[in-house]
Amino acid sequence: MSAYLRGRKKLFSSVVIGFALIMFSIFGPAIAAEESEAVTVTDEEGQVLAVDSLNDRSNTNKLVLFDPTFSYFTETSGSSYEVVLEKVERTKYMVIDSGSGDQAIPENGVVLSTNGETSDILPFLKGLDKGEQVTIEEPIEKRYPDQLDDINPTDESNPDGAPFPGNRGSNQLLLYTSDFGTSTGTNPYGYEITVVEGVVTKVGGGDSDIPAQGFVVSGHGTGATYLKNAEIGMKVEYDQSGSVELIQDASTFIFKSEQALAEAKASLEEARNHYVDAAYDQSEAAIARAEELLEQAEQVKEEDPLQALDLTEQATQSAYDGYYYSLSSEVGEQRAVWYRPEEKDLDDVRTTLDRMEKAGFNSLYLETTFWGYTIFPSETMEAYGLPKQHPNFADKTYGDYGSDILKAFVEEGKKRGITVQSWTDGFMVGHISLGVSPQFEVYPEWTAVQRNDETGTIGTDSKSNYYWLDIANPDVQEFMLEVYEEQQKNYDITGLNIDYMRYPHHSFEESYSFSDSNRNRFEEVYGVDPMELDESDDLWEEWEAWLREQENEFVDKLHDQSNAIDPSFMLTATPEPGAEATLISDWVDDIDGVIPQAYGHDFKSIQATVQASKELTPDSMMYYTGIYSFYHHLSEKAAVEDVRAAAYGTSGVNMFAFGQASAPSVDALGKGPWREAAVNPGETPKEAVLATVQQLIDQTKTIYIPKGAIHHTEGQKLINTLKKWEVMMKRPDHSLKYSKVEKELDKTYAVMEGLDSLEPIVRERIMGKLDQSGKWLYYHYNK
């Protein structure tokens, strides 16, 4: 519980909370453990309040500090009270605003947040006046103790984890040494930290490699929450009794800065050795700046430790920038983001799109239907006697677009090179917390019915408490098709991303969908009411297959409808791992692209999802990877690494979701892998191929020939071959048959094989881009 700390003597150096990091004085004296409990906030009257946690949406009866690394907004409930502060100098902040929850977090500031009528927090925050200066301080050392559930778990030592990969059960915290094996074997639904010689060297991911000179700590649920306190450079101690402790001290920040600089230098050197098209000048300048700042910090650490702290913080960020600029940036790939709109006016829409443009996104999967409403004014909804528009937007004005926020995003997105695809909640139309879905108030017979539902009631799903329309009901299908048709015809959207297009997968007693309509239709064919079937009956499988076929038929109808309106229109699906993912093969003739949801946060776990999903879909399908970096509030560096892992071997990335994006992550993506503008191969395949070959021509002229990756004569031969593709991609479809494309591709491969002076690493890179281009063109001609 927080309390006023009046007149307490400060025995520690002050913290600076800056743009991207919360950094501590790494030069001040160590302090006693009892003095290292919390960040403190001091008002102008000298009253002091301790902060309970950082970047924590669970702010009931707690004082929470949000910084820009969390997101653009605090994402707290409207009943919260929050004070917005902007940094003035070092530890000094000025109050610039206050109000209810979900306040915007300044890119150079913080937000103080609480919820609940506590005896000290709320009066303290409400006593902070606009223009008042506040001091925010933090001790040098912090410790996070916890208790392990097991070390090197087995079925016998940890029975609760026995059914699960890596023997890690729900809400457990486990430690793995090399005695366990080479990796933890866990699934991606948790969080792990890798520790080498007592220091955290890696955070995030699943199935982590176990270092010979260290260990891995792995958590699920509450265990994962605990581990998210860890940062690169923190110390970790444990004993055989199961006690474990994360320790943050001066060495943490020294290690972090040194590692960031070393990694940037190594990445830049690798880029040179591998002839990567990096932003060399910017990378070199950022690295040099980081070294200069660290030297300055060393020089002033005795007389001005706070200035040294500022310099160290800047050096670490500059080293990160040096790393980002050392990465390549492709010009043919999808860079998409899912997003549920919340904007209150046109300025808000433009601000959101400006941020997306800064990151490098070229496609926005905008949630156009949720909780049973459309975000746009819908004539279809009105014709069915339903609310014409979602109440969040119906009373808003978006400049010349009126209340039509969808049109605002589409038209303003065009100005920034961002196309809009419709992301839909499908047949999931509400949640119990919001009351009965509007559809069921008018059409109660449309509800999906679970086996265990009470007869005649409108029930929510027994696991998620969501309301579901009955997918198999012909009237429901017709209604949904009309909603999607209206979107496609009335708005310049480029595709439809279907979500919630199958009934939830449950056990026998909670299975779907036993509406009177479905039961009668099934009984007409099979002579038995499915409600009377037992799980062991032969016809039970027929019933499940019948429902599955109703789902598939709807997607088939949707495909035929959208294709008839516009053959280039994309229909994509986003299967979750498990039962839904295994059924994606049912839709291979109806969808144009698949976006499997990869929940992991390292190359191994993300690529495991990618490869498993690829086995279920044909090569001709457009393939992207869905990642959750923003949703899990990963650091800017982790977000960049997620994007790189997800893009490997695919045509691009979808990030979930921009509502949780942070300014540092947006900045990092725009400096790193998304530095150059990219053409979306799913929407305009020929243009993506054109951009790719033009980039290869430029790279051959400016890097491969000058740097000796290929002899000048053979380099010119490669350029001439690529220029043929440049000419072909500019020809209209009617004058360029796919047979011609195939022949030219074979000729290009033959030319590549004959380039004896071409460096192997460059040959592999170019061949990979040619393979990808061939897939995009096959997709284009066979869609």
Choose between 615 and 656: higher pLDDT: 656
pLDDT in tens, 469-484: 999 999 999 999 999 9
Q: So where are the chain's domains?
A: 16-140, 144-248, 251-325, 334-671, 685-782
Q: Which residues contact 380 (CB under 8 A, 6 or more apart)?
A: 479, 482, 483, 485, 486
Contact in structure between 110 and 82 (CB atoms under 8 Å): no
Q: Say what the pLDDT of residue 17 is.
A: 33
Main-chain phi, psi angles of 411, to 5 degrees: -75, -40
Q: Which of 608, 632, 770 lies closest to 689 in space, CA to CA?
A: 770
pLDDT above 70 covers what percent of the chain? 95
Question: Rounded to 5 degrees, what angle do the CA atoms 314, 317, 321 make?
Answer: 130
Instruction: Label the pairing between strands 373-374 and 363-370.
Output: antiparallel
CATH no. for 334-671: 3.20.20.80
At residue 32, does pLDDT exceed 50? Answer: no
ω into 651 cis (within 30 of 0): no
What does the alpha-carbon distance between residue 536 and residue 529 come to, in Å, rounded to a whole number?
Answer: 15
- Give the confidence band of 312 by pLDDT, cuts at 50, 70, 90: confident
Contact in structure between 675 and 667 (CB atoms under 8 Å): no
Domain 16-140 has CATH 2.60.120: yes
| Residue 526 buriedness (CB in 10 A; 0-12 / 13-18 / 19+) | middle
| Cβ density class 327-342: b for 16+ within 10 Å, e for less | bbbbbbbbbbbbbebe
Contact in structure between 613 and 641 (CB atoms under 8 Å): no
- Give the confidence band of 581 by pLDDT, cuts at 50, 70, 90: confident
Q: What is the mean pLDDT of residues 331-336?
A: 98
Q: What is the mean pLDDT of residues 129-146?
A: 90
Mean pLDDT, the chain, integer: 92
Contact in structure between 470 and 518 (CB atoms under 8 Å): yes
Lowest mean pLDDT among 27-36, 443-452, 542-551: 27-36
Q: How far is CA 397 from the centre of its chain?
A: 30
Q: Say what the pLDDT of residue 619 is.
A: 79
Q: Say what the pLDDT of residue 131 is.
A: 97
At residue 87, does pLDDT exceed 80? Answer: yes
Q: Say what the pLDDT of residue 576 is.
A: 79
At residue 491, does pLDDT exceed 70? Answer: yes
**Which pTM was predicted?**
0.90
What does the alpha-carbon distance between residue 186 and residue 183 come to, in Å, rounded to a whole number?
Answer: 8
Q: What is the mean pLDDT of residues 366-389?
A: 98
pLDDT in tens, 626-647: 999 999 898 999 999 999 999 9
Q: What is the mean pLDDT of residues 327-352?
A: 98
Show the tokens assigned to 265: 């230098």
Q: What is the mean pLDDT of residues 563-592?
A: 89
413 residue type, one letter: G
Choose between 604 and 129: higher pLDDT: 129
- Give the confidence band of 311 by pLDDT, cuts at 50, 70, 90: confident
Helix (H, G, I), strand (E, B) or coil at 573: strand
Q: What is the mean pLDDT of residues 185-208?
A: 92
Choose between 401 and 32: higher pLDDT: 401
- Give the confidence band of 3 by pLDDT, cuts at 50, 70, 90: very low
Choose between 157 and 605: higher pLDDT: 157
pLDDT in tens, 582-595: 788 899 999 999 99
pLDDT in tens, 415-435: 999 999 999 999 999 999 999
Show the tokens assigned to 122: 């709320």
At residue 727, does pLDDT exceed 90? Answer: yes
208 residue type, one letter: S
